[in-house]
Chain A
Amino acid sequence: MNRTIIRLSAQAVLGRRRGIVLVLVPVALLLLAVVVRLLTDGDVGFQATAGLGLTLALPLVALLASSAVLGPEVDDGSIVYLLAKPVSRHVVVVSKYATAWATTMVLGALPLALAALVLDPSLGRRALALGLGGAVAGTAYSALFLALAALTRHAVVVGLLYTLFWEGVLGSLLAGVRWLSVGAWGRAVAGEVSPLLADEASTGLVYSLVAAALVTLVTVWFAGDRLRSFTLRGDE
C-alpha cells in the first residue's frame, strides 16, 4: 500500500460535494431510526429501517466511495500521471480500495449498527449482527464497484443496476438471485450472528463468507489488472 495514494484518494472521497452526500446518507438512515422510534414502541419499524440500510444506504455509500477513488481520475484523464509513477498498478488499486473500504465501513456499516441501537438499545447483539452483516456486504460491494470503475465509464450506472435491479427487483421475484447477491450474503451473516435476524431463505454462513471473500479478492485483482493494461479514451 502507498500512503500518498491513500491520502489523495481520501481527499477525493471526502471532497466538498461528495463528502456532503456521503455523510447525508447515513444521517438520513439515523434520522429514520429516530422517527421510527418516536412513532412506535414495538418492533414494527426495525425491518423497514434495516432493509433500507442494507439494501439501499450501504450499497450507495460503497458506490459513492468506490467511484470517487477511481472514477474522476479516469474521467478527466489525470490517471495517466498516477500510472506513470513507478508504483505497481496492483499497489495503486489496493491503496485506493483501502480508502473506499474504510469509508464504507465508517459511513455504511457503522450507521447500520447505530440505527439498530437507536431502535432498541437493549438488543446489543442484534445491532452487532447488523453491523457485521453490513461490514461483510460493504467489503464485497466496495471491491466490486472499484473493479467496475476500472472496467467501464458507466461504472456508476452498472453498479446501480446491479444493486437496485438485480438484487432489488429481480431478487424479490426470483429467490435464486440470492446466491449471486452481495446483499443477501450480508443478511445471511447477520442472521447467523443474531437469531432475531435469521431468515429461512439464507445462503448459509460458510457460502456467504467464502463468496464475499472470493468476490473481494478477485475483483480487486481484476481492477489492478485492468489498470495494468489501461487505455485512455476520449469523452463520449
Chain B
Amino acid sequence: MTDPSAATPEGRSVIHDLGYRPYTGPRLGQGAIARSLVGTGLRNAFGLGRSGRSKVLPFALLALNLLPAVIVAGVMVLVGLDSLPIGYAEYASTTQVLVGVFVAAQAPVLFSRDLRHGTIALYLARPLGSGTYALARWVSLLGATLVFLVLPVLVLYGAALLSELDVAEQTRDVAVALGLVVLLALSLAGVAGLVASWSTRRGFAVVATIALLLIANGIVTAVQGIAGAEGRPRIGEVTGLFSPYSLYRGLMSAWTGVEAPTPPASTGMELAYVAVLVGLSAACLGALVLRYRRVATS
C-alpha cells in the first residue's frame, strides 16, 4: 500500500504552475480605508445603500425638520417680509427634539450593528486600527448630523437672499449660526455615538440617548427659569454648562441676541461654554476609541 497522500506512486510530487498571480498593484493603507468607511457611513446614516425600509425613518425626520424652514421661505416670498421670522441659529434650538431623535436613532445604525453582529472583526482584520474605525464612524455621524442641521439654515438663507435682504448682514448671521451648529453637532454626535457603542440594543440606545439629552436639558431649563425668576442669574449660568442644548442656547443668546433664560454674561463664561461643548465632544471621542480598543483586544 502506497502513501495515499503522495501524488504519484513513487512519491515524486510535482507542483504545477497554473498561472495564479498575486495582487501586485498598489495597496491602499489605513487612510483610504478610513475615507471610504466615512463615506459609506455617511450614506448609511441616511439609509442610502441599505434597504428601502431603512430610508423611511431618516428621510421622514429630515422632511419634518425642513418643513418649517420651507414654510417660512414660502411665507417670505408670498408676504414679502423684511426680516426672517426665525433666526438661523434659533432654528436648531426650536427643532431640538427632531435633531435629538435623528441623532439618537441613526447613531445605532453606525455604532451598534457591527458590534451586535460581530462584523467588527471583519473591519479590524484589515489594516485598520480600532481607534481609526471609531474615529471614522464618529466622523460619519458628525457629518450626518451636520447635514441635518445645516440644510434648514441654507433653505432659510436662500429665501432671505431671494427676497433681497441685506446680503452682508444675512451672511454674517449665517456664519455665526453655522459655527454654533458645528459646536452642537460635535457634542451630540459624541454623546449619541458613545451611548450607541455602549448599548448594542437599538431601541434601548435610542431612548437612553434621548433621556440623557432631553432630561438634562429639561432639568437645566427648569433650574435656569427659577434662577432667573429669583434674580440669581449666576446659578442659571453655571447650570447651563450641564447639557448640550442649554450650552447651545446660552451661546446663541450671547452671540445673536435671541432671548434665552440666563445666558452667559461675561466673555469668560462664553469661553467656558465653548470649552465644555468641545471638551464633551473630545471626551466622548476618547471614550469611543477606548471602547473599540477593548473590543478589538477581547
Q: A residues bordering B, Cβ < 8 Å?
A: 17-18, 21, 24-25, 28, 31-32, 35-36, 39-40, 44-45, 48-49, 51-52, 56-57, 60, 63-64, 67-68, 71-72, 75, 149, 154-157, 160-161, 164-165, 168-169, 235-236
Contacts and interface: CB of A to CB of B under 8 A. Distances in A.
B226 A45 contact: yes
A31 B42 CA distance: 39
B222 A45 contact: yes
B222 A52 contact: yes
A64 B211 CA distance: 10
A21 B222 contact: no
Contacts of A75: 201-203
B227 interface: yes
B222 A32 contact: yes
A155 B232 CA distance: 42
B201 A25 contact: no
14 contacts: A17-B198, A28-B219, A31-B219, A35-B223, A44-B225, A64-B204, A71-B204, A75-B202, A156-B105, A156-B207, A157-B101, A164-B101, A169-B97, A236-B53
Most-contacted residue by chain A among B53, B198, B203, B211 (CB, 10 A): B203
A18 B201 CA distance: 10
A36 B229 CA distance: 12
B110 interface: no
Interface string B100-133: 0100110000000100010000000000000000
A40 B230 contact: yes
A183 to B, nearest CB: 14
Nearest to B68: A169
Nearest to B235: A39
Contacts of B97: 164-165, 168-169
Main secondary structure of the interface of A (DSSP, over half): helix
A160 B60 CA distance: 14
Interface of B: 50-51, 53-54, 57, 64, 97-98, 101, 104-105, 113, 117, 198-199, 201-204, 206-208, 210-211, 214-215, 218-219, 221-223, 225-227, 229-230, 232, 235
B210 A60 contact: yes
Nearest to A61: B211
A67 B215 contact: no
Most-contacted residue by chain A among B104, B105, B198, B208 (CB, 10 A): B208
A178 B117 CA distance: 42
Contacts of A39: 223, 226-227, 230, 232, 235
A224 B176 CA distance: 52
B222 A36 contact: yes
B203 A36 contact: no
A25 B216 CA distance: 10
Contact of B203 (A40, A44, A67): A67
Given A17-B199, A39-B235, 17 more contacts: A17-B204, A28-B215, A28-B219, A32-B219, A39-B230, A40-B226, A40-B230, A44-B226, A71-B204, A75-B202, A156-B203, A160-B206, A160-B210, A161-B101, A164-B214, A165-B97, A235-B117
Contacts of B113: 235
A112 B215 CA distance: 14
A21 B211 contact: yes
B50 A236 contact: yes
A48 B101 contact: no
Nearest to A236: B54
Contacts of A160: 101, 104, 206-207, 210
Contacts of A64: 204, 207, 211
Contact of B207 (A45, A67, A72): A67
Nearest to B239: A35
Nearest to B64: A165
A222 B182 CA distance: 43
B226 A36 contact: yes
A160 B204 CA distance: 12
B61 to A, nearest CB: 8
A50 to B, nearest CB: 10
Nearest to A21: B208
Contacts of A56: 214-215, 218
Contacts of B223: 32, 35-36, 39
Contacts of B211: 21, 24-25, 60, 64
Contacts of B214: 56, 60, 164
A57 B230 CA distance: 25
Contacts of B101: 157, 160-161, 164-165
Contacts of A235: 113, 117
